[in-house]
Amino acid sequence: MSATGHPPAGHPVHSTLVGDQGPVVAFFHGLFGRGRNWTSIARALRPDFRSLLVDMPDHGSSAWNTSFDYARAAEQVAEHLSSGVAADGPVHVVGHSMGGKIAMTMALAHPELVDRLVVVDVSPTGTGEVSEFEHLLGSLARVELSGLESLGDADRQLARDVPQPSLRGFLLQNLRRDPATHTFGWQPNLQMLRRDLAAITGDIPHEGRTFDGPVLWIGGSGSDYITDAQVPAMRQLFPQTVRMTIKDATHWVHSQQPEVFSAAVRHFLSGE
């Protein structure tokens, strides 16, 4: 891995399968995330479901692109699923934030790959608000990787801009040491993601398509990522949408209320 963190070639989309029985649920993480963020939810769904923890393009061990585009990201993930766990039929898909937009885009373009869809704290339309993400991406870019000796050193640098220890821990999961050179690098494509942030926070492409399968739309009671104004667009694209709000949760619903979230997803995916 180079100092910039470019992942190795040969992994257009990387994923890990958890569990050995039951229907497959593919999990798509959000910005700054990686597939393993869903590990505790995947374990909670066993033994009824197998979980595919997917690193989204430009994140984790998946390859980088030169620009961000929801249609392309959805196609890359769709190809990964269709040649793997969805080769014999559709799978369930759960997507949070950016991963929720990729999941929605894929469901609209490739409904044959998706059985039931869970969209977590995001809508198909953008809010235009990028300041929080600009701050975090800028904070990561300011970490001086040259001469970095440990994650603790990076944590101390990042604390100047990000005072919350839990948020720093989440962000620093993306910092990896190259075993050959012993240098640190970021796994996400930070420079491109920062440049194309408007596309990430914008509307998803849909070209007049609809997804007619069952959709569970989960939001946090303390989050402003889903508003009543966005409901008509969601229901137009996904007519079978059921909206659910989880109390005492913000944008990170699945990590703040894991038991409630897991129970809701299990209930929905079971067709109950």
Bridging pattern class, strands 114-120 and 91-96: parallel
193 has a pLDDT exceeding 50? yes
Task: Give pLDDT, residue 2.
Answer: 35
Which residues partner with 52 through β-bridges?
17, 26
8 has a pLDDT exceeding 60? no
Band (pLDDT 50/70/90 cuts) for residue 1 is very low
272 has a pLDDT exceeding 60? yes
Question: What digits encode the pLDDT tens for the residues 213-257?
Answer: 999 999 999 999 999 999 999 999 999 999 999 999 999 999 999
Q: What average pLDDT does range 163-181 have in this prediction?
A: 91
Question: What digits encode the pLDDT tens for the residues 28-68?
Answer: 999 999 999 999 999 999 999 999 999 999 999 999 999 99
User: CA dist 271 to 187, 213, 216, 265, 267, Å?
Assistant: 37, 12, 11, 10, 7
Task: Give pLDDT, residue 180.
Answer: 86
pTM score, two decimals? 0.94
Place of tokens 């079971």: 270
- Report percent pLDDT > 90 for the chain: 89
Question: What digits encode the pLDDT tens for the residues 114-132?
Answer: 999 999 999 999 876 677 8
